């Protein structure tokens, strides 16, 4: 089951590769946090479609505005057509109570 955030989708859209460079344990910090860390290396795509990226970011900002609400609930307060969103959600095989975090990355372009 996918579990995305606005940040993870944006980075996957903009990057060819996201590589784990190094693990950093919590003991490396003072005061130590409650979690460990990872250093990441981002390799940006050379042929990025800035128009598509802007459209997707705009959509994702609305979709992830209230993460505990359903995707349709978040879209009610936007300029997007909620009836069309419901239709697309059902066509893609999701329950109409799906949250944005559960929508697969490759399905988002259908909503544009």
Distance from the Cα of residue 79 to its chain's centroid: 19
Position 75 scores a pLDDT of: 96
Position 55 scores a pLDDT of: 97
Position 6 scores a pLDDT of: 96
Position 77 scores a pLDDT of: 86
Which residues of the chain fall short of a pLDDT of 50? none
Residue 76 structure tokens = 């009610």
Position 2 scores a pLDDT of: 77
Position 46 scores a pLDDT of: 95
Kindly report each contact of residues 58-67 with a partner whose C-beta sits within 8 Å and lies 24 or more positions away, as own/partner.
Answer: 59/108, 59/111, 59/112, 60/6, 60/9, 60/10, 60/100, 60/108, 61/6, 63/6, 63/100, 63/103, 64/5, 64/6, 64/100, 64/101, 67/5, 67/99, 67/100, 67/101
Cα gap 106→74, rounded to integer Å: 20
Position 1 scores a pLDDT of: 64
């Amino acid at each position: 089951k996918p579990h995305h955030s606005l940040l993870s989708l944006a980075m996957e859209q903009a990057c060819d590769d996201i590589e784990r460079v190094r693990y950093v344990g919590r003991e490396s910090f003072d005061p130590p946090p409650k979690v460990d860390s990872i250093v990441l290396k981002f390799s940006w795509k050379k042929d990025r479609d800035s128009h598509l990226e802007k459209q997707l970011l705009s959509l994702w900002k609305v979709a992830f505005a209230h993460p505990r609400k359903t995707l349709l609930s978040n879209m009610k307060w936007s300029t997007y057509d909620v009836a069309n969103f419901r239709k697309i959600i059902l066509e893609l095989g999701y329950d109409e109570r799906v949250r944005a975090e559960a929508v697969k990355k490759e399905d988002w372009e259908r909503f544009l």
